[in-house]
Amino acid sequence: GQRLKEIGRWPDAEQTLLRAIEQAKQTNDLPCHAWALGVLGGLYRDRGDLSPAIVAYGRAKELAEQIGSSDGQHLIGVALDGIGTVYGRQGNYSLAIEHYQKSISTCIRIGDVYQLAITSGNLGNAYLNQRDYEQALKAYGESLEFSMMSDSDQEVANAYARFALQSRNALSANGR
């Protein structure tokens, strides 16, 4: 389902994810169930179906809380980040920031630097949208630091680009 989502075959991805969710329910596979709901939330978010996205992410978080391992904590962090992104798309930056901060706390607890890089960048976007340039730059800098600690060259490149572009935007908005 995730691969189909990534290549833009959203109807096929949705059907595959719904089947995976049903199978996970039948076998009581909580990690698979939570993961598939999280991917489904991302699909809905990307499609602009924001209310179902919040529901899917919320349910993924609830299931992940029952898992109890670091895998469950990772899924909680991802779900919280997804919820924050949906709130950001709705223009509710205060709720977006609240969920990003919860995701960051969860990911710090388990040392998930890859997700910390992503969520810190998203937090920077929310602050930027609120025109809180100081907090945005701080979050982008943290995203860059976390991405450099991860094994993802792609996330390092994304963080550098975010930091450079948004630093320029923030400085020009402040008249510097």
Task: Tell me the pLDDT of the chain averaged across its residues.
Answer: 89
Determine the longest span between alpha carbons in the chain, in angstroms. Answer: 59
Please give the C-alpha separations between residue 111 and each of 103, 105, 154, in angstroms, as whole numbers: 12, 10, 19
Q: Is the pLDDT of residue 100 over 80?
A: yes
Q: Which residue did the predictor score with more confidence, 158 or 62?
A: 62
**Cβ contacts of 94 within 8 Å, gap of 6 or more:** none
C-alpha–C-alpha distance, residues 76 and 26, integer Å: 22
Which among 51, 42, 33, 54 is positioned nearest to 14, based on CA atoms? 42
Rg (CA), the chain: 17
Distance CA 93, CA 106 (A): 20
Phi then psi dihedrals of residue 155, to 5 deg: -70, -35
HSE-up of residue 17 (Cα within 13 Å, Cβ side): 25
Encode pLDDT of 44-82 as tens digits.
999 999 999 999 999 999 999 999 888 899 999 999 999
Q: How many CA atoms lie within 13 A of 21 on its CB side?
A: 20
- CA 88 – CA 127 distance, rounded (Å): 10
pLDDT band at 41 (very low <50, low <70, confident <90, very high): very high
Where does the pLDDT of residue 36 fall: very low under 50, low under 70, confident under 90, or very high at 90 and above? very high
- Is the predicted pLDDT of residue 175 greater than 80, yes or no? no
What pTM does this model have?
Answer: 0.86
